[in-house]
Amino acid sequence: MKILLLNPNMTQAMTDNMAAIARAAVGETVEIVPVTATKGFPYIASRAEAQIAGGLVLEMIAEHGTDVDAVVIAAFGDPGLVGARELFDVPVVGMAEAAVMTAALLGESFAVVTFSPLMRRWYAECVSATGLKDRFKGVYTPNDTPAKLGNIQTDVRDDLISLATTAATQHHADVIILGGAPLAGMVPDIAAHVPAILVDPITAAVLQAMTLAQMRPRSATPNRANKPAAKTSKGLAAPLAKAIQHEGFTG
Amino acid sequence: MKILLLNPNMTQAMTDNMAAIARAAVGETVEIVPVTATKGFPYIASRAEAQIAGGLVLEMIAEHGTDVDAVVIAAFGDPGLVGARELFDVPVVGMAEAAVMTAALLGESFAVVTFSPLMRRWYAECVSATGLKDRFKGVYTPNDTPAKLGNIQTDVRDDLISLATTAATQHHADVIILGGAPLAGMVPDIAAHVPAILVDPITAAVLQAMTLAQMRPRSATPNRANKPAAKTSKGLAAPLAKAIQHEGFTG
Amino acid sequence: MKILLLNPNMTQAMTDNMAAIARAAVGETVEIVPVTATKGFPYIASRAEAQIAGGLVLEMIAEHGTDVDAVVIAAFGDPGLVGARELFDVPVVGMAEAAVMTAALLGESFAVVTFSPLMRRWYAECVSATGLKDRFKGVYTPNDTPAKLGNIQTDVRDDLISLATTAATQHHADVIILGGAPLAGMVPDIAAHVPAILVDPITAAVLQAMTLAQMRPRSATPNRANKPAAKTSKGLAAPLAKAIQHEGFTG
Amino acid sequence: MKILLLNPNMTQAMTDNMAAIARAAVGETVEIVPVTATKGFPYIASRAEAQIAGGLVLEMIAEHGTDVDAVVIAAFGDPGLVGARELFDVPVVGMAEAAVMTAALLGESFAVVTFSPLMRRWYAECVSATGLKDRFKGVYTPNDTPAKLGNIQTDVRDDLISLATTAATQHHADVIILGGAPLAGMVPDIAAHVPAILVDPITAAVLQAMTLAQMRPRSATPNRANKPAAKTSKGLAAPLAKAIQHEGFTG
Amino acid sequence: MKILLLNPNMTQAMTDNMAAIARAAVGETVEIVPVTATKGFPYIASRAEAQIAGGLVLEMIAEHGTDVDAVVIAAFGDPGLVGARELFDVPVVGMAEAAVMTAALLGESFAVVTFSPLMRRWYAECVSATGLKDRFKGVYTPNDTPAKLGNIQTDVRDDLISLATTAATQHHADVIILGGAPLAGMVPDIAAHVPAILVDPITAAVLQAMTLAQMRPRSATPNRANKPAAKTSKGLAAPLAKAIQHEGFTG
Amino acid sequence: MKILLLNPNMTQAMTDNMAAIARAAVGETVEIVPVTATKGFPYIASRAEAQIAGGLVLEMIAEHGTDVDAVVIAAFGDPGLVGARELFDVPVVGMAEAAVMTAALLGESFAVVTFSPLMRRWYAECVSATGLKDRFKGVYTPNDTPAKLGNIQTDVRDDLISLATTAATQHHADVIILGGAPLAGMVPDIAAHVPAILVDPITAAVLQAMTLAQMRPRSATPNRANKPAAKTSKGLAAPLAKAIQHEGFTG
């Protein structure tokens, strides 16, 4: 099985870290194919940027998704997810949605803990977009954005434990999602210090991608009613234009 | 006052028709500046296409929106609206959202009537996205898609009257939105035959754009908290890259 | 075009101030016809009072609305709006609903800032009644009610700027509605100091009234399905009784 | 114990019928004090009429409610309920809300069955206003309004049984509210023919009024925080003006 | 009339106290039949415990409910309510649901005040389960759990008055439910000190049980569509097995 | 890895079929441990039965779950799920919830197709309980219950294809859950005939159980804040009593 791990941000180090975590999660029988965006932004942090990056995600799937069994969009806001799931036959998983659905299977209620107040609004909107707002207990962050991301996992470790504890004990979150790529991989280190179940989004995303690939191989639904009709276009990257025209691409 | 009437579809005839209706609505003191997409699709009809077209909308505003007082995104699904409103200081109006908010000021409840069952899902999702789902009575269409759009206003006239009447009398819609660019301009012709208030979306959109431009000139909020921070990018159309980098563009 | 500006409170000075703001907003081609309630209360501040004032609003429209193109109910709780919109053919705009729908066209989320904690509950209920609760970020007020309203705009100016800033930066409100007649006209003065888009409700209401009057002249729907059947009554003001009996009044 | 049974419609025969049903329900220890509106409408059937009738309800409570232990507003749309409950210290029960809350204690879900399609919208809105929309399975009526109300209970008996059966078996309503004053008293006759629990609204209303009067005598809350401040007024019926001014009336 | 007062907790003193309050509420014509669980837990305080206790509630009704007119499940979380109402023909009232529906008839909004933060989550979930979440203003408790329950009514009296006052004045709760069996009977003592209407859940529950028994005697619906089909079982208490098999038991 | 496949129904053949499907799904590295209820009902079909069966589920986990890595409750209504997840440290998956969350990762919207109208209500309530009501397009079934279950997969095959097609094309369900144990294993046979993605609930449940077991081993959260305090009990099965008392059992 091959899973395309698609980072819509242009930051290679972020891709490398997520690919390592993904490989540790899926074991040896699954191949992780990491791809980093070559256009767009170093780190998507607004809805305007997500609008653009979502289009790039479609391009990247069209180009790299031909022979994979599932795709992970490895950015918490799930840019392009809805359109990708509609257009392509291959299962496509968003990191936020995968984390949320997994959290909902682990407990009645969940919260997101992250490292910067700047992400509060967007993350809250991402969770609401999944439809599970009634089981969501909010986004918890330090009051200030850390000055640098270099040692972020060390710098905010105590804060995260404290925030997650508050979310669990005061706001009744059974499960805590550690949101944001810079926190990827921290769960094993802090799990014993938090009185709630912790979810690492990239791990959740690749495991869900495996599940979906097994349950619904891309060949399983040759005639989806919700697939857009073939359409001509102008000015799009060639593989994407072909996919939209139902040509050549069987993704 | 200048209003940019931005058609994210590549069909010039559609732009011309909407521009004519817009000019009739705004009177002589307002200049309508129509622009048609030069990339993308003849007619956006899926969420994947809307994802891409939404990025093109941002490009078009960055290129053409420098000295206008408001922008109308003239496609019912409002592609790019949320990102555009976040990124640019100029008021940006989506055709669906403008029609819905106007309908909600004209009656307690509203419905959408259009010409093809293919649009039901997307239009319903657009209305739900505005937040006014509880006042929405559904999308009503003929059972079959008309074979050609050439004489669509004549061909479906009786159907539309009948559907709107059903929506008003059986489903309690006080207001009917005639959705979809091909129906633009039909309201005066059929209003007397429908027992409900009718809304023409393009008219609603340009009148709302005038209202917003007057209430909130682009210079009014120099320091919006919700404006994304300046950011570098790669591979974007130059004017959009500048806007995202807070350079040169004051839109 | 003539717009009836109907103040359901008995305070003439409030009417005068709102009429001045309205005239500045609509320009010279529109005539503002202000009317002040001659029965009822100095200032409506409860739901019991709104129940009674709503009946007076219907009386006032029946008496003064015969030859106007739109009606504005100039009190934030929109007393009588639903019944008026049902009974009369002329477009009727409530100040709260107009402010809310306009705010929703200017940003994804909005809040209300006002001068007294006494208004929190009622204003919150008014906004919820519009259906846009999911985009609403709450009512923000000083902790205490100002001792006098005489210099209210000067006295609470700093508080309002601070509250609006908090609503924008901490609670993610893109747009701030300055609620309550005593604050009418303050937007230009404080806009540059608030990191969000500001909405003046009376301005929003008259501009929306213009839009509705143009889109839906009262003659446009001779046979609305939602119009109540003609009915006899007893003890009502004569013009209202006539309107309810479909006699003489074409409003 | 005395219960004011207040009919906001001007039809005395309707009051007499409801008073008889009420007396049968409450037994001999409770006095039913029926009052019929002397102003307003023969039968309220629109929101404009309910706006006016709601004001009359406040007048009637102020005049007749001085020494009763609870008040029943005996019209399905509960005109004036919210304001009355805020203004007066005596418990006030609306017929629709009482029927709905009682139905919710008898089963997980409920529906309304009534005799005319004209009531569908208003009744549905009344139920939604109680907040219990998620447990509500809709309003069911014959397709046509009966030509006359004279023998309505006989004429629609078979229809009601059939509609209630459909609501129970097809739409999963555990409880059926027989809505509308003309159907008052029919429950014992048809209960054995309907596969669901039936609720007679006037019976529910007076029994709930007894319960509230016992649980919360009007003297129990001398200082309600939600009571409007005393206020002067002009042009109101004298007892209501006094109540609003906190004078003389202790209701 | 006989009402079965069923305590699913094994604590006899709690039953005795609730039975005394119930008898004072219903007067001499109604017989209160108290039964205390002989299996299960001293005091249910989790959802796992409620799952088990809910099964015991069904057993207890099957054993003791044969000739009563209504059943009250006297524990705030209403364990077993939904299943009991489905299985048995006798009206079954849950203490939380009865308190909530009664509160909703006394005011627009309500809150719960109780003695321990440990109950916050469960009580909030119970209220949400009734469907009235939009009228609910939260659960208010002291920050710490009292060390002992012996003199709980004396020990937390001042706290409860203070919390209820905050709920009423800051959070706009018109009605306060004093939740939790240990607080049963406190309403008369503190009512004059709280600026809101108070509800005692056990009183609400028995009065509602009387109302339901009168409105819907168990013989009234011989053929409920929502009654489960007769079914064999294994290992259940004999009376419950019979009820499920529609044998012998007419409850 | 070991997964306890717990059938709360007493029908062994059902367990055998589900275990076979589960084994095919998980591969050779995971051991499926099937257990069939020895008390309760042949097939749970009501909420009263689910109340009782939910308690049995807790007993069965306490007895058989000591050394497994995850538990699947293999009945569509997820009896006992909430309590089990609260009480035990081992991940517990409900078949309905797992199917729903998986469906939500495969498409924007989903529906349930099953073989009998008798299941409509319960299945709809199960889906709503997950919180994903807004993405749910309903339960579709034949009008009549099949006379016998013997050849059910053959007998209703055409009906299921037709219903699923309607749900996809008319009601816009992207994903169809084939609900109910008697349909387990049908997906591969009919997938090519349905224009939507199909989900087999038992497959979804065991794959999700694998994912949860990997993400959150039972030792990961030694001090969950939402774990009920240790408590004595009376009359419970010994292993369950021990688990509730935090004795001996580390599940």
DSSP F3-41: EEEEE-SS-HHHHHHHHHHHHHHH-TTSEEEEEE-SSB-
Q: Give me the interface pTM, i.e. the ipTM.
A: 0.96
> What stretches in chain E show pLDDT beneath 70?
248-251
Q: Which residue of F has its CA nearest to E58?
A: F48
Contact in structure between C128 and C136 (CB atoms under 8 Å):
yes
Q: How far apart are CA E114 and CA C125, in angstroms?
A: 27
What pLDDT shows up at residue C164?
97
Residue F209 is encoded by which pair of tokens? Answer: 């159980």
**How many CB pairs below 8 Å do chains E and F form together?**
107
Of the candidates F39, F42, F54, the beta carbon closest to that of E51 is on F54
Q: What CATH number has the domain spanning D2-94+204-244? A: 3.40.50.12500
C109-120 residue pLDDT tens: 999 999 999 889
Q: What CATH number has the domain spanning C97-201? A: 3.40.50.12500
Q: How far is F197 from chain E (nearest CA, A)?
A: 32
Give contacts of C224 with chain B, Cβ < 8 Å: 168, 174, 195-197
**How many CB pairs below 8 Å do chains D and E form together?**
144
Q: Identify the chains in contact with B, defined as 3+ C-beta pairs within 8 A.
A: A, C
B195-206 residue pLDDT tens: 999 999 999 999
Of the candidates A107, A210, A226, the beta carbon closest to that of F85 is on A107
Give contacts of C38 with chain D, Cβ < 8 Å: 234-235
Q: What residues are paired with E234 via a beta bridge?
A: F40
What pLDDT shows up at residue D217?
82
Q: Residue C17 CB: number of other CB atoms within 10 A? A: 17
- For chains C and B, having 3+ Cβ pairs within 8 Å is answered yes
CATH topology agreement for domains C2-96+204-244 and C97-201: yes
Q: How far is D111 from chain C (nearest CA, A)?
A: 23
What pLDDT shows up at residue D249?
53
Cβ neighbours for D250, distance < 8 A, ≥ 6 positions apart: D66, D89, D218
F67-125 residue pLDDT tens: 999 999 999 889 999 999 999 999 999 999 999 999 999 999 999 999 999 889 989 99
Q: Please report the DSSP string for A90-148 in residue order.
A: S-EEEHHHHHHHHHHHH-S-EEEE-S-GGGHHHHHHHHHHHT-GGGEEEEE--SS--S-
Residue F96 is encoded by which pair of tokens? Answer: 């309905």
Q: How far apart are CA A15 and CA A33, in angstroms?
A: 10
Cβ neighbours for B7, distance < 8 A, ≥ 6 positions apart: B14, B15, B18, B34, B35, B36, B37, B74, B75
As a whole number, the mean pLDDT across chain F is 93
A83 touching B (Cβ < 8 Å): yes
What pLDDT shows up at residue E249?
53
Give the residue among F125, F77, E219, F96 at the shortest CA–CA distance from D172: F125
Of the candidates C82, C108, C191, the beta carbon closest to that of B221 is on C191
Interchain pair F224, A169: CB under 8 A: no
What pLDDT shows up at residue C51?
97
The residue whose two tokens read 């909107």 is A125
Interchain pair B45, A80: CB under 8 A: no
Q: Identify the chains in contact with E, defined as 3+ C-beta pairs within 8 A.
A: D, F
**Per mean pLDDT, which range of B16-20, C85-89, F149-153, F243-247 is the poorest?**
F149-153
- pLDDT at residue A231 tops 80: yes
Q: Residue F242 CB: number of other CB atoms within 10 A? A: 16
| DSSP label at residue F234 | B
Interchain pair A85, F106: CB under 8 A: yes
E207 touching D (Cβ < 8 Å): yes
Give contacts of E172 with chain D, Cβ < 8 Å: 226
* Confidence bin at B17 (pLDDT 50/70/90): very high
Give mean pLDDT, residues C11-35. 95
A65 touching B (Cβ < 8 Å): no
Of the candidates C86, C134, C172, the beta carbon closest to that of B131 is on C134
Sheet strand arrangement including D136-140: D136-140, D110-113, D175-178, D197-199
**How many CB pairs below 8 Å do chains C and D form together?**
105
Q: How far is D212 from chain E (nearest CA, A)?
A: 7
Give contacts of E196 with chain D, Cβ < 8 Å: 221, 224-226
Helix (H) or strand (E) holding D199: strand D197-199
C179-217 residue pLDDT tens: 988 899 999 999 999 999 999 999 999 999 999 999 988
F133 touching E (Cβ < 8 Å): no
Q: Which residue of E has its CA nearest to D214?
A: E25
What pLDDT shows up at residue D240?
96
- One-letter identity of residue E224: R
CA angle E103, E109, E113 (to 5 degrees): 70
Give contacts of B199 with chain C, Cβ < 8 Å: 215-216
As a whole number, the mean pLDDT across chain B is 93
B233-244 residue pLDDT tens: 999 999 999 999
Give contacts of F107 with chain A, Cβ < 8 Å: 85, 226
Percent of chain F with pLDDT over 90: 85
A22-78 residue pLDDT tens: 999 999 999 999 999 999 999 898 899 999 999 999 999 999 999 999 999 999 889
What pLDDT shows up at residue B248?
64
pTM over cut 0.90: yes
Q: Which residue of F has its CA nearest to A185?
A: F215
A108-124 residue pLDDT tens: 999 999 999 988 998 99
Q: How far apart are CA B45 and CA A138, in angstroms?
A: 35
Q: Please report the DSSP string for F54-91 in residue order.
A: HHHHHHHHHHH-TT-SEEEE-STT-TTHHHHHHH-SS-
| DSSP label at residue B224 | -
D31: three-class secondary structure by DSSP? strand
**Per mean pLDDT, which range of A154-158, E142-146, F199-203 is the poorest?**
E142-146
Q: How far is F147 from chain A (nearest CA, A)?
A: 31
Q: Identify the chains in contact with F, defined as 3+ C-beta pairs within 8 A.
A: A, E
- One-letter identity of residue C241: A
Q: What residues are paired with E198 via a beta bridge?
A: E176
Q: How far apart are CA A215 and CA A211, in angstroms?
A: 6
Of the candidates D86, D195, D220, the beta carbon closest to that of E225 is on D195
D31-76 residue pLDDT tens: 999 999 999 999 898 899 999 999 999 999 999 999 999 999 999 8
- pLDDT at residue F249 tops 60: no
Q: What CATH number has the domain spanning A2-95+204-244? A: 3.40.50.12500
CA angle F174, F178, F184 (to 5 degrees): 145
F120-138 residue pLDDT tens: 998 999 999 999 999 999 9
Tell me which long-range contacts E37-40 makes (C-beta under 8 A, separation of at least 24): E37/E7, E37/E8, E37/E9, E37/E10, E38/E10, E38/F234, E38/F235, E39/E10, E39/F233, E39/F234, E39/F235, E39/F236, E40/E8, E40/E9, E40/E10, E40/F233, E40/F234, E40/F235, E40/F236
What pLDDT shows up at residue D5?
98
F118: three-class secondary structure by DSSP? helix
In chain F, where the domains are located: 2-95+204-244, 97-201
B53-66 residue pLDDT tens: 999 999 999 999 99
* Confidence bin at F240 (pLDDT 50/70/90): very high
**How many CB pairs below 8 Å do chains A and F form together?**
144
Selected residue of D51, D120, D240 to mutate for chain C interface (largest C Cβ count, 10 A): D51
- For chains E and B, having 3+ Cβ pairs within 8 Å is answered no
Interchain pair B235, A39: CB under 8 A: yes
Sheet strand arrangement including F197-199: F136-140, F110-113, F175-178, F197-199
- pLDDT at residue A99 tops 60: yes
Give the residue among A251, A236, A241 at the shortest CA–CA distance from A4: A251
- pLDDT at residue A250 tops 60: no
Of the candidates B48, B52, B235, the beta carbon closest to that of A86 is on B48
- pLDDT at residue C4 tops 80: yes
Length of chain F: 251
Phi, psi (degrees; rounded to nearest 5) at C221: -130, 80
Of the candidates D102, D135, D196, the beta carbon closest to that of E211 is on D102
Q: Which of residues 217-246 of B touch C (CB under 8 A)?
A: 220-226
Interchain pair E46, F236: CB under 8 A: no
- pLDDT at residue A247 tops 90: no
Give mean pLDDT, residues F212-228. 86
C25 touching B (Cβ < 8 Å): yes
What pLDDT shows up at residue D223?
86
Q: How far is E8 from chain D (nearest CA, A)?
A: 19
- pLDDT at residue F250 tops 70: no
CA distances from E97 to C89, D178, E32, E117, E207 (A): 44, 23, 20, 20, 13
Interchain pair B228, A55: CB under 8 A: no
A196: three-class secondary structure by DSSP? coil
Q: Which alpha helices (H) appear in D108-194, and where do they start and end?
A: 120-129, 152-155, 157-169, 187-190
What pLDDT shows up at residue A248?
65
* CA atoms B216, B217, B218, B223: torsion sign: negative
Q: How far is E13 from chain D (nearest CA, A)?
A: 24
Interchain pair D86, C52: CB under 8 A: no
Q: What CATH number has the domain spanning C2-96+204-244? A: 3.40.50.12500
Give mean pLDDT, residues C119-138. 94
What pLDDT shows up at residue F146?
85
Give contacts of C172 with chain B, Cβ < 8 Å: 226
What pLDDT shows up at residue A51?
97
